[in-house]
Homo-oligomer: A and B are copies of this chain.
Amino acid sequence: MTIRFHKGDISEADAERYTGDIAIDTETLGLKPHRDRLCVVQLSPGDGTADVIQIAKDQKKAPNLTRLLKDRKRTKIFHFGRFDIAVLFHNFGITCEPVFCTKIASRLTRTYTDRHGLKDNLRELLDIDISKQQQSSDWAAEDLSQAQLEYAATDVLYLHALREKLQERLVRDGREKHAEACFRFLPTRAKLDLIGWDDTDIFAHS
């Protein structure tokens, strides 16, 4: 596993590895973007390597990262993008578009299960077993442990391959159009979370 570690931003040289779609995930101190700070952003170009960027407290900018994510020619691949999109917008003002969310694609195709976590998807569709042990660790630690770095990396390393598998299913089941519409709405869903509709289904009757 090749992990490139960065403080504050991805280096320009490493940013140049990203010529296509970008797998991305974030680690925070918790699930509330207004309370829990962003600690790590991890990216993968889909070649089996990952860039893990440690974000400082009160850091407001990351120009290389921002440039990559704002590029509308690259799809940003998330697992449960709703959360990460909100975090990236809240911290850096970045609106990620277009996006693909493997959790939504899983919901739309793996109708035989209610387990749409990343771990379950990777095990079933790619026969890869990842550990979720570091998920609830202290991501604001100044020195991230090797285990944390590896955890952060594994969360993005397989997203391209997973997207591929799920996209095949979406096509097979005639649900690509529905998925695309969900992905187009996702950045708005994330912004509504930030401004206070995080616990309402905006489309519900009551």
On A, residues with C-beta under 8 Å from B are 80, 82-83, 103-104, 107-108, 111, 114, 116-117, 177-178, 181-182, 184-189, 191-192, 196-197, 200-206
Contacts and interface: CB of A to CB of B under 8 A. Distances in A.
B184 A202 contact: no
A117 B177 CA distance: 31
Given A184-B184, A196-B111, A203 B178 contact: no
Nearest to A82: B203
A191 B206 contact: no
- Judged by DSSP, the binding face of A is helix
Contacts of A107: 197, 200, 202
A196 B178 CA distance: 13
B116 A206 contact: yes
Contacts of A103: 205
A185 B197 CA distance: 17
A177 B187 CA distance: 11
A114 B107 CA distance: 29
A187 to B, nearest CB: 8
A64 B43 CA distance: 52
Nearest to A178: B188
B188 A202 contact: no
Contacts of A196: 111
Contacts of A205: 80, 82-83, 103
